[in-house]
């Protein structure tokens, strides 16, 4: 199999598997006071310290979650409830128009059930939010903004946002700023303190860690209303028995991803450039989406005129090549990408697009295989569409 969908999930690193396997053989709840419990607590706190050190945070700013979706929900819902509860006038929740559904849907739920007003911050043709666009959105009424959320890097088209600049604008108005950095950790320099953000979401399975483990980096002095109540673990922000083996694996994955980032990003960018060259050689009218300069190194998002993206995906899948039409979380839904539409693409262009994403398991042989398969697949997809017309 040629796997070109690392933005959806990536292979678990052997070092992570080894650490988790060892930890699964140990007994102890990290909230217990006896010896086994204290041993588990030490593992959890070492994981917390390692993640904090790797990402420019303080250990007590690391709140463990089950992954990026929970972290996004905790940040967006929890910050809204806290801000709106203190001042009912603060109802507006500002999100970029290209957010992942893990951030978009919580905001829409708040608007439908909790009296929030969800507003989209527009993006340019590359999918970027400019500081000017954010400032204009806030200044429509600065006193009624509850929070801002803009993802660090887009999961579909790979565009990297000017997060520090955007966070600085939000800070001028004393508005908390959350960023979904699930795609950015390990691919971009991510420094929580230096970025100026209030809250940052990350997950393990995008960087060679386990599914089911993630974190919300949450600035000191910021107290969102919890989603889950119980034992009061994790600063009384997120209750639940801590999954010690998964958290050890998460910390190992974050450490490796951050330490290897420079070489990893350089290698992926070279593979991506070769991928683009090989596809263009056999499909000259293919177009690329996203920011050409400020983008994830392993992302290639392409539109194939005259094709249905779903049909092209299945033709490639039949040849043993796995890719995506966009976010895996919305796969199978017959509608064009909201990301591409927000960038100004037509519905036809949005429906004709595929995402090829590379990761630490990607090899040049994968690129060669795609280059050999993409031409015939495009021809068949175009022919099938012409017959239906």
Give start-end residues of each CATH 3.90.1150.10 domain in the chain.
2-9+261-388
The pLDDT, as a whole number, for residue 335 is 78
The pLDDT, as a whole number, for residue 57 is 98
pTM over 0.85: yes
Q: How far apart are the C-alpha atoms of 318 and 372, rounded to whole Å?
A: 14
Fold (CATH) for 14-259: 3.40.640
Is 329 catalytic? The answer is yes
The pLDDT, as a whole number, for residue 179 is 98
Catalytic residue among 329, 331, 333, 383: 329
| In contact, 145 and 176? CB cutoff 8 Å | no
The pLDDT, as a whole number, for residue 332 is 56
The pLDDT, as a whole number, for residue 165 is 98
Per run of 10 residues, the mean pLDDT along the chain (length 389 residues) is 97 98 96 97 98 98 98 98 98 98 98 98 98 98 97 98 98 98 98 98 98 98 96 95 98 98 98 98 98 97 95 96 76 78 95 96 97 97 80
Instruction: Give the C-alpha distances (Å, rounded to integers) separating 76 from 197, 218, 377.
Output: 13, 12, 41
CB atoms within 10 A of CB 273: 13
Q: How far apart are the C-alpha atoms of 88 and 118, rounded to whole Å?
A: 15
Fold (CATH) for 2-9+261-388: 3.90.1150
Element (DSSP H or E) covering residue 35: helix 35-54
Give start-end residues of each CATH 3.40.640.10 domain in the chain.
14-259
């Amino acid at each position: 199999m040629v796997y070109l969908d690392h933005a959806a999930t990536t292979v678990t690193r052997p070092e992570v598997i080894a650490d988790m396997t060892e930890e699964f053989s140990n007994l102890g709840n990290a909230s217990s006071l006896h010896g086994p419990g204290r041993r588990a607590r030490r593992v959890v706190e070492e994981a917390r310290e390692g993640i904090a050190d790797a990402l420019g945070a303080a250990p007590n700013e690391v709140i463990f979650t089950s992954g990026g979706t929970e972290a996004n929900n905790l940040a967006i819902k929890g910050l809204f409830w806290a801000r709106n509860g203190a001042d009912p006038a603060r109802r507006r929740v500002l999100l970029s128009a290209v957010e992942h559904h893990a951030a978009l849907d919580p905001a829409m739920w708040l608007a439908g059930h909790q009296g929030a007003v969800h507003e989209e911050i527009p993006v340019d043709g590359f999918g970027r939010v400019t500081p000017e666009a954010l400032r204009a959105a806030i200044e429509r009424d600065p006193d009624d903004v509850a929070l801002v959320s803009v993802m660090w890097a887009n999961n579909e088209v790979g565009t990297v946002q000017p997060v520090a600049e955007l966070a600085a604008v939000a800070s001028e108005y004393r508005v908390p700023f959350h960023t979904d950095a699930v795609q950015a950790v390990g691919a971009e320099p991510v420094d929580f303190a230096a970025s100026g953000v209030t809250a940052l979401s990350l997950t393990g399975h995008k960087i060679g860690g386990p599914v089911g483990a993630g974190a919300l980096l949450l600035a000191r002095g910021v107290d969102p209303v919890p989603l889950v109540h119980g034992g009061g673990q994790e600063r009384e922000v997120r209750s639940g028995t801590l999954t010690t083996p998964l958290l050890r694996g998460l910390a190992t994955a974050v450490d490796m991803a951050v330490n290897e980032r420079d070489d990893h990003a350089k290698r992926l960018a070279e593979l991506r450039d070769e991928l683009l060259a090989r596809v263009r050689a056999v499909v000259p009218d293919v177009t690329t989406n996203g920011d050409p300069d400020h983008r994830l190194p392993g992302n290639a998002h392409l539109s194939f005129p005259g094709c249905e993206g779903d049909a092209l995906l299945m033709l490639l899948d039949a040849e043993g090549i796995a890719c995506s039409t966009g976010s895996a979380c919305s796969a199978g839904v017959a509608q064009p990408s909201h990301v591409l539409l927000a960038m100004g693409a037509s519905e036809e262009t949005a429906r004709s697009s595929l995402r090829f994403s590379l990761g630490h398991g990607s090899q040049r042989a994968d690129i060669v295989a795609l280059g050999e398969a993409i031409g015939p697949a495009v021809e068949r997809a175009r022919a099938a569409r012409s017959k239906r017309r």
